[in-house]
Amino acid sequence: MEYLILGIVLLVLSVVGGSVMFLRSRTGRTLEAPPRPPVITRPSGTGTDEAPSAPAEHVPADVIPVPEIEVPPPSAGRLQRLRARLARSQGALGQGLLAILSRDSLTDDDWDEIEDTLITADVGVTPARMIVDELRTQQKVLGKLSPEQVKTMLREQLLAQIGPDLPRGLHVQRKAGGAPAVIMVVGVNGTGKTTTTGKLARVLVGDGLKVVLGAADTFRAAAAEQLATWGERVGAEVVRGPEGSDPASVAFEAVKHGIAADADTVIIDTAGRLHTKTGLMDELGKVKRVIEKQAAVDEVILVLDATTGQNGMTQARVFAEVVNITGIALTKLDGTAKGGIVIAVQRELGVPVKLVGLGEGPDDLAPFDPEAFVDAILD
């Protein structure tokens, strides 16, 4: 009898134990990660440069990120929105000039001070002299001016040097035949090239355009990664190749995909880390030539760091000799009081500043608007 009871107890225990283990294993299976969907930043079949795809990782289901597509603000009025930031960095220049110009009687020393203030703000020697000469003539004719008149006069002179009528619009709309507009972004690494490419994609998506990005800066793997993140946030596809692959091939695939995907604009981020002008010329020239087998390049935007002053100008000159630059994106204007670089660089290169970067935030890039810029300086 005792053996019979012991047998029954053992039987019950084994059944209960088995059930618990079954439940555990079931619980374990439900927690087991489903295969992670591949992060598609590059369309399939992008030619021989395509890297072998990474094996699917297993991650807990509850940490799989759900990509949330952001809707960035449109381009119109961006600079006005960033005006406070511009006034913060450039306001001292305007206030300094207004203070001197408002003195009772202006001596030669005062005029020299005005010229020095402009040169210190990177306006450039010749434009600074032109501004001073013009202000001086007007002041002689008009005599003692009210603060309002001083402001108006200075505003006019700064605007005249910036060139309110230069063509600053970006060619971002499809071409007549339906192919996407192609923008190449060039510049030295560290100037904010990749960031500007990503921010520009946001500006265009904000304006309702379909954008494809090409990560042709294959020199640094992180640059492609960075661009992929920018693209994912606004739903722009990013075509990229393995680190060190041929940038021209990536650019080609990006434009090809842009055409196939019926995109409005393809933006190509290029590498600038080349030590010789010949190397740079070879690479950028090749990228452009290869792109143009499929669609014309509509814009070549040179990204320039406003905080680098004369160094930046030297770089700008080299790039201008190598490629036909159609516009300048001046970054990090929030980090320098030397906003006069807008005048100097346009004069040097003969192309307009089309975009300005005013911070590290995703929407801190704005189409350049001369009037809003001067008003922020003089506020």
Ligand X SMILES: Nc1nc2c(ncn2[C@@H]2O[C@H](COP(=O)(O)OP(=O)(O)OP(=O)(O)O)[C@@H](O)[C@H]2O)c(=O)[nH]1
Stretch 315-354: interaction string toward ligand X, x if CB under 6 A:
----------------xx-xx-------------------
Q: Does 218 bind ligand X (CB under 6 A)?
A: no
Q: Does 360 bind ligand X (CB under 6 A)?
A: yes
Minimum Å gap between C-beta 238 and ligand X is 14
CB of 84 to ligand X, least distance (A): 15
Note whether 42 and 239 are within 8 A (CB).
yes
User: In this complex, which beta carbon is closest to ligand X, that of residue 180 or of residue 192?
Assistant: 192
**Does 34 engage in binding with ligand X (CB under 6 A)?**
no
Give the distance between the most distant pair of CA atoms in the chain: 127
Query: Which residues have CB under 8 Å from 50's CB, separation 6+?
Result: 42, 241, 242
> How far is residue 219 from each of residues 214, 271, 292, measured CA to CA in Å?
13, 6, 22
Stretch that binds ligand X, among 107-115, 134-142, 191-199, 315-323 (CB under 6 A): 191-199
Write the CA distances from 44 to 41, 151, 228, integer angstroms. Answer: 9, 58, 15
Nearest to 188 by CA among 313, 12, 62: 313
Smallest distance from the beta carbon of 106 to ligand X, in angstroms?
36
220, 261, 313, 379: which one binds ligand X (CB under 6 A): 220
Per-position x/- string for 263-302, each x denoting binding to ligand X as judged by CB under 6 A, each - no binding? ----------------------------------------
The answer to whether 272 is annotated as binding is yes
Among 194, 245, 326, 346, binds ligand X (CB under 6 A): 194
Binding site annotation covers 190?
yes
191 a known binding residue? yes
Number of H helices, E strands in the chain: 13, 8
The bridge status of strand 365-367 relative to strand 353-357 is antiparallel
Inter-CA distances, 309 with 190, 331, 332, 338, Å: 14, 12, 12, 8
Instruction: Find the binder of ligand X among 181, 223, 297, 302 (CB under 6 A).
Output: 223
Determine whether the annotation assigns residue 194 to a binding site. yes
Start-to-end CA span in the chain (Å):
101
CB 57 within 8 A of CB 78: no
Pick between residue 100 and residue 373 the one whose CB is nearest to ligand X. 373
Q: What is the DSSP letter of 63?
A: G
Residues that bind ligand X (CB under 6 A): 189-195, 217, 220, 223, 331-332, 334-335, 357-360, 364
For the annotated binding site for GTP, the residues are 187-194, 269-273, 331-334
